[in-house]
Amino acid sequence: MSRFGVDLVWHPAGATDLVLLAHGGQEDSQASAGLWGGAILRMWPFAGAARSAVPSAAVGLMRYRYQGWNGAAADPAADLRAVLDELPPVIRRVVLIGHSMGGRAVVAVGDHPRVAGVLALAPWLPAGEPLVALRPPVTFAHGADDTVTDPRGTQAYASRLRSKGTPVTVYSLTDETHPMLQRSTDWNTLVSTFTTTALTDPEDTPASVFEVQLLPESGPRVSPAAAIASIALARLRLPVIERFELEG
């Protein structure tokens, strides 16, 4: 049996909300996802941004059984849905934030009754991906220069959601690639703003805009090396304080 679950990095007393971050991975792999891979480390600054935005909410990082999506098994989505099912009853609302394969996973389970918002960053949404009845707020964001996951797939999925009446915001980030290092400040700001909207101002969810919007720059750009250093610093500042584990 493999263990999976949530590594909590922030858990204030009495928290009834959880911001859950889902990292990227590979198309096919049953290797252990591990705790120190680049994909999960990239999510750590977002944990800090979410904590600062809504300090009353718990913040955790999803830990899958496997590194890969693995075809019809959709293992990361299965793990994530199991976690949502089994979280303690005190957790009433969960904001899902996923990158790449994690973006695909949060979309796939975004119809879960506990989910209070879905933010997919450079999501992997291939043609024919099943349409899920997501509840707003829903935001997709993709770097214009991403060659790992296709921004056109993100836009196409958003269009399908809108055709079913779901309001979706789609942002494009110019001069940005898949690791999200060129405009790291802007990604952090997006996470902070989305978390605040989902958990404290849900009535402010914007109406659906059918055009892709350019995400404005929220601060000065930093070098990729500086962005990597900030990831390491975030990992040191937010150690894992508690684990919620399942077996599967």
Domain borders along the chain are 3-247
Q: Is 55 exposed, middle or buried (0-12, 13-18, 19+ CB in 10 A)?
A: exposed
pLDDT by residue (tens digit) across 172-194?
999 999 999 999 999 999 999 99
Q: What is the largest CA-CA distance in the chain?
A: 46
Instruction: For the domain made up of 3-247, give the CATH fold.
Output: Rossmann fold (3.40.50)
pLDDT by residue (tens digit) across 223-243?
999 999 999 999 999 999 999
Has residue 205 got a pLDDT over 80?
A: no
pLDDT by residue (tens digit) across 126-169?
999 999 999 999 999 999 999 999 999 999 999 999 999 999 99
Strand partners, 17: 93
pLDDT for residue 211? 83
Total residue length of the chain = 248
Picking from 171, 98, 105, the residue whose alpha carbon sits closest to that of residue 132 is 105
Which residues make Cβ contacts (< 8 Å) with residue 220, sequence separation at least 6? Answer: 185
Q: Let me know: does 68 contact 29? Beta carbons within 8 Å.
A: yes
pLDDT by residue (tens digit) across 46-71?
999 999 999 999 999 999 999 999 99
Residue 6, phi then psi, degrees to nearest 5: -125, 130
How many other CB atoms are there within 10 angstroms of residue 8's CB atom?
Answer: 20
- Token pair, residue 171, equals 């942002």
Picking from 149, 144, 115, 147, the residue whose alpha carbon sits closest to that of residue 129 is 149
> How far is 230 from 235, CA to CA, in rounded Å?
9
Q: Let me know: does 63 contact 35? Beta carbons within 8 Å.
A: yes
Q: What is the pTM of this model?
A: 0.96
Which residue has tokens 């060129």? 182
